[in-house]
Amino acid sequence: MSIHLKLNGTERELEVDPEMPLLWALRDVLGLTGTKYGCGQALCGACVVHLDGEAVRACVTPVSRAAGRHVTTIEGLSADGSHPLQKAWVELAVPQCGFCQSGQIMTAAALLAKKPQPSDGEIDRSMSGNLCRCGTYTRIRCAIKKAAGLPHE
């Protein structure tokens, strides 16, 4: 089946099984490996991408759900790493292993698009479904606050 979507601002056509998880279409068919496979059950958040601006778990989202819609991956957030979240992540040395970071950043970007200056509670609620095996949650919250122009520790 032919699936048409707008990926990171570019019209794309995929000839894939419509039930293929969006994650595998992105990674294996299109070669965009920034979105990570973590659990395959929508439990960890490593695979978060935006579908029409909403954070979704690409590991359980069938590619057919993206038909005719805008998909943004970590590669499309900013081609040169200049998105405020990406800059804050680097400046505050957020990642350790880095595996979960694309999902963390994409979830945070969806939050900031809706709530440009979120409270700590709003950050915590939004990010609660994203797991970081290295435990960098405090630095993640600080980076989100920095990107939002809020005081951070």
User: Average pLDDT in the 9-22 region?
Assistant: 98
Residue 153: burial class (beta carbons within 10 Å; 0-12, 13-18, 19+): exposed
Contact between 16 and 3 (Cβ < 8 Å): yes
Report the pLDDT value the prediction gives residue 89, as an integer from 0 to 100: 97
pLDDT, tens digit (0-9, with 9 covering 90-100), for 22-73: 999 999 999 999 999 999 999 999 999 999 999 999 999 999 999 999 999 9
Provide the whole-model pTM: 0.96
pLDDT, tens digit (0-9, with 9 covering 90-100), for 78-111: 989 999 999 999 999 999 999 999 999 999 999 9
- Two structure tokens written together for 37: 């496979």
32-65 as b/e: b if 16+ CB within 10 A: bebbbbbeeebebbbbbbbbeeebbbbbbbbbeb
In the chain, the domains with their CATH numbers are 3-76 (3.10.20.30), 84-148 (1.10.150.120)
Q: CA triplet 7, 124, 26: central angle to 5 degrees?
A: 20
pLDDT, tens digit (0-9, with 9 covering 90-100), for 121-145: 999 999 999 999 999 999 999 999 9
Q: CA triplet 143, 148, 150: central angle to 5 degrees?
A: 85
pLDDT tier, 120 (very low <50, low <70, confident <90, very high otherwise): very high
